[in-house]
Protein backbone atom coordinates (compact mmCIF):
# COMPACT_ATOMS: atom_id res chain seq x y z
CA UNK A 1 0.00 0.00 0.00
CA UNK A 2 1.41 3.39 -0.98
CA UNK A 3 0.29 5.68 1.84
CA UNK A 4 0.79 8.83 -0.25
CA UNK A 5 -2.01 7.73 -2.60
CA UNK A 6 -4.44 7.35 0.30
CA UNK A 7 -6.75 9.70 2.16
CA UNK A 8 -5.81 10.52 5.72
CA UNK A 9 -8.85 10.58 7.94
CA UNK A 10 -8.34 11.93 11.47
CA UNK A 11 -9.76 9.53 14.06
CA UNK A 12 -8.50 11.11 17.30
CA UNK A 13 -7.39 14.74 17.06
CA UNK A 14 -4.72 16.31 19.27
CA UNK A 15 -7.50 17.94 21.27
CA UNK A 16 -9.44 14.66 21.67
CA UNK A 17 -6.28 12.93 22.90
CA UNK A 18 -5.31 15.74 25.27
CA UNK A 19 -8.78 15.87 26.84
CA UNK A 20 -9.01 12.10 27.25
CA UNK A 21 -5.51 11.88 28.76
CA UNK A 22 -6.44 14.42 31.43
CA UNK A 23 -9.35 12.14 32.44
CA UNK A 24 -7.26 8.97 32.33
CA UNK A 25 -4.45 10.61 34.30
CA UNK A 26 -6.86 11.66 37.01
CA UNK A 27 -8.50 8.24 37.18
CA UNK A 28 -5.18 6.39 37.36
CA UNK A 29 -3.76 8.83 39.94
CA UNK A 30 -6.78 8.28 42.17
CA UNK A 31 -6.53 4.48 41.92
CA UNK A 32 -2.77 4.32 42.64
CA UNK A 33 -2.52 7.10 45.21
CA UNK A 34 -0.55 5.78 48.24
CA UNK A 35 0.52 2.72 46.21
CA UNK A 36 3.89 2.03 44.61
CA UNK A 37 3.18 2.42 40.89
CA UNK A 38 5.48 1.12 38.17
CA UNK A 39 4.58 1.99 34.58
CA UNK A 40 5.89 -0.51 32.05
CA UNK A 41 5.67 1.00 28.59
CA UNK A 42 5.88 -1.21 25.50
CA UNK A 43 8.26 0.11 22.88
CA UNK A 44 8.17 1.41 20.35
CA UNK A 45 4.50 2.18 19.74
CA UNK A 46 3.64 3.54 23.18
CA UNK A 47 6.46 6.04 23.66
CA UNK A 48 4.36 9.08 22.71
CA UNK A 49 1.28 7.97 24.67
CA UNK A 50 3.35 7.07 27.74
CA UNK A 51 5.21 10.39 27.72
CA UNK A 52 1.94 12.33 27.60
CA UNK A 53 0.04 10.09 30.03
CA UNK A 54 2.65 10.06 32.82
CA UNK A 55 2.74 13.86 32.74
CA UNK A 56 -0.96 13.80 33.63
CA UNK A 57 -0.30 11.75 36.78
CA UNK A 58 -0.07 13.66 40.06
CA UNK A 59 1.45 10.76 42.04
CA UNK A 60 5.01 9.38 42.22
CA UNK A 61 5.70 6.79 39.53
CA UNK A 62 8.62 4.74 38.25
CA UNK A 63 8.74 4.24 34.49
CA UNK A 64 10.61 1.70 32.39
CA UNK A 65 10.32 0.29 28.92
CA UNK A 66 9.99 -3.19 27.52
CA UNK A 67 10.46 -4.10 23.89
CA UNK A 68 8.21 -6.72 22.37
CA UNK A 69 8.18 -7.96 18.81
CA UNK A 70 5.78 -6.00 16.61
CA UNK A 71 4.00 -6.12 13.28
CA UNK A 72 7.14 -5.22 11.34
CA UNK A 73 6.25 -3.62 8.04
CA UNK A 74 2.83 -5.15 7.47
CA UNK A 75 -0.58 -4.51 8.90
CA UNK A 76 -1.15 -7.99 10.34
CA UNK A 77 0.32 -9.51 13.48
CA UNK A 78 2.71 -12.41 13.03
CA UNK A 79 0.80 -14.08 15.85
CA UNK A 80 3.83 -14.78 18.00
CA UNK A 81 5.01 -12.41 20.71
CA UNK A 82 8.61 -12.18 21.86
CA UNK A 83 10.18 -10.13 24.62
CA UNK A 84 13.20 -8.48 23.09
CA UNK A 85 14.17 -6.36 26.10
CA UNK A 86 12.89 -7.11 29.61
CA UNK A 87 12.53 -5.03 32.82
CA UNK A 88 15.58 -5.63 34.98
CA UNK A 89 14.43 -4.10 38.27
CA UNK A 90 12.87 -6.23 41.02
CA UNK A 91 9.13 -5.56 40.73
CA UNK A 92 7.94 -7.44 43.84
CA UNK A 93 6.76 -4.37 45.79
CA UNK A 94 5.07 -2.66 42.90
CA UNK A 95 1.69 -2.28 41.28
CA UNK A 96 2.44 -2.55 37.57
CA UNK A 97 0.54 -0.64 34.91
CA UNK A 98 1.43 -1.85 31.41
CA UNK A 99 0.99 0.93 28.86
CA UNK A 100 0.61 0.23 25.16
CA UNK A 101 -0.55 2.13 22.12
CA UNK A 102 -3.25 -0.31 21.01
CA UNK A 103 -4.80 -3.66 21.80
CA UNK A 104 -5.68 -5.45 18.61
CA UNK A 105 -5.61 -9.28 18.77
CA UNK A 106 -4.68 -8.95 22.45
CA UNK A 107 -1.77 -11.37 22.03
CA UNK A 108 0.90 -8.83 23.03
CA UNK A 109 -0.87 -7.57 26.14
CA UNK A 110 -1.86 -11.03 27.33
CA UNK A 111 1.67 -12.35 26.89
CA UNK A 112 3.29 -9.35 28.60
CA UNK A 113 0.89 -9.48 31.56
CA UNK A 114 1.51 -13.22 32.08
CA UNK A 115 5.24 -12.61 31.84
CA UNK A 116 5.20 -9.75 34.37
CA UNK A 117 3.09 -11.79 36.80
CA UNK A 118 5.98 -14.27 37.08
CA UNK A 119 7.97 -11.40 38.69
CA UNK A 120 5.52 -11.45 41.66
CA UNK A 121 4.36 -7.82 41.62
CA UNK A 122 1.50 -6.72 43.90
CA UNK A 123 -0.79 -6.31 40.88
CA UNK A 124 -0.70 -6.01 37.09
CA UNK A 125 -3.17 -3.90 35.10
CA UNK A 126 -3.00 -2.31 31.69
CA UNK A 127 -3.80 0.93 29.92
CA UNK A 128 -4.03 1.39 26.16
CA UNK A 129 -4.71 4.48 24.11
CA UNK A 130 -6.75 2.55 21.56
CA UNK A 131 -8.78 -0.63 21.77
CA UNK A 132 -9.99 -2.63 18.75
CA UNK A 133 -12.23 -5.21 20.50
CA UNK A 134 -13.53 -6.63 17.18
CA UNK A 135 -10.08 -8.00 16.42
CA UNK A 136 -9.55 -9.95 19.62
CA UNK A 137 -8.02 -13.44 19.32
CA UNK A 138 -7.46 -13.99 23.04
CA UNK A 139 -9.59 -12.98 25.99
CA UNK A 140 -8.36 -9.72 27.44
CA UNK A 141 -10.07 -6.49 28.37
CA UNK A 142 -7.75 -3.54 29.02
CA UNK A 143 -8.38 -1.88 32.42
CA UNK A 144 -8.03 1.66 31.08
CA UNK A 145 -8.85 2.59 27.48
CA UNK A 146 -8.42 5.96 25.79
CA UNK A 147 -10.65 5.29 22.80
CA UNK A 148 -12.51 2.22 21.54
CA UNK A 149 -12.17 2.18 17.76
CA UNK A 150 -13.50 0.14 14.82
CA UNK A 151 -11.47 -2.51 12.98
CA UNK A 152 -9.27 -0.18 10.93
CA UNK A 153 -5.50 0.12 10.66
CA UNK A 154 -4.56 3.31 12.45
CA UNK A 155 -1.38 5.36 12.29
CA UNK A 156 0.21 8.29 14.15
CA UNK A 157 0.80 9.28 17.79
CA UNK A 158 3.40 6.51 18.16
CA UNK A 159 1.75 4.01 15.82
CA UNK A 160 3.72 3.27 12.71
CA UNK A 161 3.10 2.30 9.15
CA UNK A 162 6.26 0.91 7.57
CA UNK A 163 8.21 2.42 10.49
CA UNK A 164 7.08 5.95 9.61
CA UNK A 165 4.40 8.37 10.87
CA UNK A 166 5.01 7.75 14.60
CA UNK A 167 5.65 11.48 15.01
CA UNK A 168 2.27 12.61 13.65
CA UNK A 169 0.57 14.20 16.70
CA UNK A 170 -2.89 12.67 16.07
CA UNK A 171 -4.32 9.25 15.18
CA UNK A 172 -5.50 8.75 11.63
CA UNK A 173 -6.89 6.06 9.34
CA UNK A 174 -5.76 5.57 5.77
CA UNK A 175 -8.41 4.85 3.17
CA UNK A 176 -8.49 4.55 -0.62
CA UNK A 177 -9.06 7.77 -2.56
CA UNK A 178 -11.96 6.33 -4.57
CA UNK A 179 -13.94 5.18 -1.55
- 121 near Mg ion, rule: CB under 5 A: no
Helix, strand, coil content of the chain in percent (nearest 5): 25, 35, 40
Is 104 a residue of the active site? yes
- 131 near ligand IMP, rule: CB under 6 A: no
* List 40, 77, 96, 146, residue binding ligand IMP (CB under 6 A): 77
Name the active-site residue from 58, 104, 163, 178: 104
User: Which residues pair with residue 174 across a beta bridge?
Assistant: 8
In the complex with ligand IMP, the residue whose CB is nearer, 58 or 141, is 141
Within positions 110 to 129, which residues make up the interface with ligand IMP, using CB under 6 A?
Answer: none
- 45 near Mg ion, rule: CB under 5 A: yes
- Calculate the alpha carbon distances from 97 to 2, 32, 110, 113, 121 in Å: 36, 10, 13, 9, 11
Strands (E) in the chain, as ranges, are: 6-12, 37-43, 62-68, 83-85, 95-103, 123-131, 144-148, 154-155, 171-176
Within positions 62 to 91, which residues make up the interface with Mg ion, using CB under 5 A?
Answer: 70
- 52 near ligand IMP, rule: CB under 6 A: no
Residues labelled as active-site residues = 104
Residues that bind ligand IMP (CB under 6 A): 45, 70-71, 77, 100-109, 153-155, 159
Amino acid sequence: MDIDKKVWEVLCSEEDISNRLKELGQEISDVYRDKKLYVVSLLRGSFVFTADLVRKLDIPVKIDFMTTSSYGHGTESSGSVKIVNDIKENLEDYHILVVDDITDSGLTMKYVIEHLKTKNPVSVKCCVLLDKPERRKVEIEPDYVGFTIPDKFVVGYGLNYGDYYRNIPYVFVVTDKDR
